[in-house]
Amino acid sequence: MPYKDPEKKAEYMRNYQQENREKINEINRDSRKRTNRKEKDRERYLSDPEYRDKVLEKNRQQSKKHRDRNRENLNRRRREQRQKMIEHLGGKCVGCGCEENLQFDHIDRKQKQSNVSSLLGYSDERVLVEVNKCQLLCEQCHQYKTTINHDMNKLAEGYKVSKVDKVGDKVIVTLEPSAPFAGETH
Ligand SMILES: [Zn+2]
């Protein structure tokens, strides 16, 4: 509105209302209609159990739809983030080079704060803090490493798997010392 002078402003308003009377009336009518309908719906909701059940059921369906959609979105985000983290770590098992059934293995268990999978859905920055302590191992190689850790604990702790070979029925897991972690204080 272009007027700072209250007189002129009032005059402008009067003129506007006169010129747009039809439009203003129509807006008010619609608004009254909506209010009336809401009141009627409310009365019916309170007095008609069948109608109430229908409304409640519809609300339930609606919230279920939203819940399902939210869950789908979250699952998709987790899947995509997991894939991104796998690529960040080279995309294949450091033991045998395969690209299937990959798992995040904490190189040094002492550094582990949580499972990568339980962090998925948080910000990339937060997930990366944990992912950067990990190497990718396929399910099989992960099992080999876990066996070694349990058998000769101290030897394998904090070591990276550099290779897993199968010779006959023997499994040879080659380990290498991992670089010290950034921010490590001791
Ligand atoms: Zn492997």
109: in domain: yes
Beta carbons of 173 and 148 less than 8 angstroms apart? yes
Domain range for 135 is: 91-177
Decide if 47 is inside a domain. Answer: yes
Nearest to 104 by CA among 140, 130, 78, 74: 130
Same domain (yes/no): 96, 150? yes
Q: Which residues surround ligand 1, an ion (CB under 5 A)?
A: 93, 95-96, 138, 141
CA of 145 to the centre of ligand 1 (A): 10
Are residues 104 and 61 part of one domain? no
Say whether both 21 and 66 belong to one domain: yes
45, burial (CB in 10 Å: exposed 0-12, middle 13-18, buried 19+)? middle
- The reply to whether 81 falls in a domain is no
Angle between helices 21-47 and 6-19 (to 10 degrees): 70
**Helix H or strand E encompassing 136:** strand 134-138
Q: Provide the residue-wise pLDDT of the chain in tens; the chain has 186 residues.
A: 667 888 888 999 889 988 899 999 999 999 999 999 999 989 999 999 999 999 999 999 999 999 999 999 999 999 999 999 999 999 999 988 999 999 999 988 888 999 999 999 999 999 999 999 999 999 988 888 887 766 555 555 667 777 788 778 777 777 777 765 544 444
Find the 99 Cα to ligand 1 centroid distance in Å.
Answer: 8
